[in-house]
Amino acid sequence: MMRRSTIALASASIFLAALSATIWAADPPVKITVHWGGTIRVLKTKPTLLLGASPVLSPGAPLRDRIFKIIKDLGADDIRYAGGGYVYPHFGVAELDPPTATKTSWDFSHIDPVTEEVMKATAGHPLVLNFSAIPEWMFKTPAPVPYPADPEKPAWQYEQGKELRDPTAREVGEYFARVVAWHVKGGLTDELGKWHESGHHWKVDYWEVLNEPDIEHGLDAQTYTRIYDAVAEAVHGVSPETKLVGISDSYPSGHSEFFRYFLDPKNHRPGVPLDMISYHFYAVPNGDEPPEAHQFTFFYQADRFLETVGYIETLRKMLSPSTGTMVNEIGTMLPEDWAQTSPDYVFKPIAQSYWNLSAAIYAYVFAGLARMGIDDAAESGIPCAPGLWPSIAMLDWDTAQPNARFWVLKLIHHNFRPGDKIVDSSSDSGYVMAQAFVGASGERKVLFVNKRDREFEVQLPESTGAKIEVIDQTTGSNPPASSTLDGSSFKLGGFAVAVVTLTH
């Protein structure tokens, strides 16, 4: 799913400053200025999330019903549902063995029970499907790639090979077309001409082609584009109304050539649509950084990412202006997650402050993407647990209780809707972000993010009597705390995310 390189940046002097609480004793009040008539753009960015297939979502799993209820109650558009892929092949690869002259191995018995619940939980909302893993037998490898007989056993080594056995990618395209047909056409006809009945006649709004191809199989832009074109043509052959999502890049800051090549229509077959591109962002500290330094690293990387988004937007507007953009994995990650594939992996407990910092990063990135008109901002991810990227979890892996990361997503989703106006607003502090919005009915709201693990006094004119909803380290895994402001200033705790709704 997610693998990242990190950026070294914190110096010894910064560490000392972070650890010296007395140095912040003189923080002045933060003054917020809003020009309510100064519209920057109309909001189009949808707050949403990544939902991944895993045994946790299988029938009979203890948290399954609670997780799907949380998804349904959120009511988000464009949730990205990712099949199990290289982690759990049985949950994401529908043909694990190559066809022979007499039989095929098509099997949705572990895929369907999860997908059916996803469809129910997201009914009425557009959905992005991403069964990303290409069956390994379609790659040239020194020996056949094994997969575990036990569907619930992870297969971190399933992903191998860089060169397709069919260099035209037609075989890959036909495979994914059959997977789409299973979902939209009531079944599929296999390589031997045999019909396999599914009974499904769902609408597939978006089909994302692969996941992080720059990492998974290490594909270059030319190879990926060839695969994308083959898949797009084949999928449209069975579901013409389905929109295609391309690139799904893991590290956009390092792959500008990928975007330049893919977004140029001249590099695609005639008629192949470029409906959407997608890419990801994770803030990741160095392994030797103390937790106190993560706030500096994470927000520094978030700012660099937003600069990269601006560059990609320039390319997109020049080369393919009708193409939309989904940033469909947003999160933070701890270095300990990289050890999860090791037999001696031992999970290290994660502090509550980390979840609030990570939640603040999502809110900060959402605001930045909204100002640039990005279509989707998807937080990552559900479900996660020790051994499966625990530091990007949005729910407690033992109880499915939402943590601060989920509550911030829900707070943003509840308060800010496509069609709202993003208005000119500013903070005189580099440590507190303020972004104001005007709703369709004229309601005025301000989203706040505290980028530091210390309290600030915030001064907002006209805020007397306003409603404030806050997620901070005092709310823990509970919903936002709500109160009414009795003056023009209020306290914003460390790593807090807040929405203030003005009454007049």
Residues 49 and 114 in one domain: yes
Residues 355 and 498 in one domain: no
Region label for 145, one of left (φ > 0), alpha (ψ between -120 and 50) or beta (otherwise): beta
Region label for 330, one of left (φ > 0), alpha (ψ between -120 and 50) or beta (otherwise): beta
Question: Is there a domain that residue 230 lies in?
Answer: yes
How far apart (Å, rounded) are the C-alpha atoms in residues 452 and 482?
Answer: 21
How far apart (Å, rounded) are the C-alpha atoms in residues 220 and 94?
Answer: 25
Question: Is there a domain that residue 2 lies in?
Answer: no
CATH number at residue 83: 3.20.20.80
pLDDT value of position 418: 96
Per DSSP, the residues of 432-445 read EEEEEEE-TTS-EE
Residues 183 and 325 in one domain: yes
Paired residues of 331 in beta bridges: 282
Mean pLDDT by 10 residues, the chain (504 residues): 42 44 70 97 98 96 98 98 90 98 98 98 98 96 96 93 97 98 98 98 98 94 98 98 97 93 98 98 96 98 98 98 98 95 92 97 98 98 96 98 98 98 97 97 96 97 94 97 96 98 86
Q: 461: which DSSP letter? A: T
Q: Which uninterrupted H or E stretch holds 312?
A: helix 294-319
| Cα end-to-end span (Å), the chain | 46
Residues 128 and 228 in one domain: yes
Residues 381 and 310 in one domain: yes
Task: Quickly count: other Cβ atoms within 10 Å of residue 174's Cβ.
Answer: 16
pLDDT value of position 26: 73
Q: Which of 415, 439, 466 corresponds to the end of one domain?
A: 415
Per DSSP, the residues of 316-385 read HHHH-TT-EEEEEEEEE--GGGGGGGSTT--PPP--HHHHHHHHHHHHHHHHHHHHHT-SEEEEEEES-B
Rounded to 5 degrees, φ, ψ at 316 are: -60, -45
How far apart (Å, rounded) are the C-alpha atoms in residues 111 and 54?
Answer: 10
CATH number at residue 33: 2.60.40.1180
pLDDT value of position 25: 59
Q: What's the per-residue H, E or C state across 183-204? A: HHCCEEECCCCCEEECCCCCCC
How far apart (Å, rounded) are the C-alpha atoms in residues 407 and 476?
Answer: 10
Residue pair 244/273 in contact (Cβ under 8 Å)? The answer is yes
Residues 110 and 167 in one domain: yes
Question: Is there a domain that residue 11 lies in?
Answer: no
Paired residues of 482 in beta bridges: 469
Look at residues 5, 50, 48 and name the one whose alpha carbon lies nearest to residue 388: 50
Q: Looking at the 3D structure of the chain, how many domains does it have?
A: 2
* 448: its two tokens: 């706040």
pLDDT value of position 171: 98
Question: Is there a domain that residue 290 lies in?
Answer: yes
Q: Where are the beta strands (DSSP E) in 17-174?
A: 30-42, 46-52, 79-82, 127-130
Residues 452 and 397 in one domain: no
pLDDT value of position 7: 40
Residues 461 and 480 in one domain: yes
Residues 35 and 61 in one domain: no
pLDDT value of position 84: 76
Residues present in the chain in total: 504
Question: Is there a domain that residue 494 lies in?
Answer: yes
Residues 73 and 55 in one domain: yes
Residues 182 and 115 in one domain: yes
Q: Which of 366, 388, 415 corresponds to the end of one domain?
A: 415
Question: Is there a domain that residue 33 lies in?
Answer: yes
- Domain with 439, as residue range(s), is 27-39+422-502
Q: Which of 375, 395, 415 corresponds to the end of one domain?
A: 415
Strands 497-502 and 444-450, by their bridges, are antiparallel
Question: Is there a domain that residue 6 lies in?
Answer: no
Question: Is there a domain that residue 20 lies in?
Answer: no
Dump pLDDT digits (tens) for 391-429: 999 999 999 999 999 999 999 999 999 999 999 999 999
Dump pLDDT digits (tens) for 423-449: 999 999 999 999 999 999 999 999 999
Residues 264 and 133 in one domain: yes
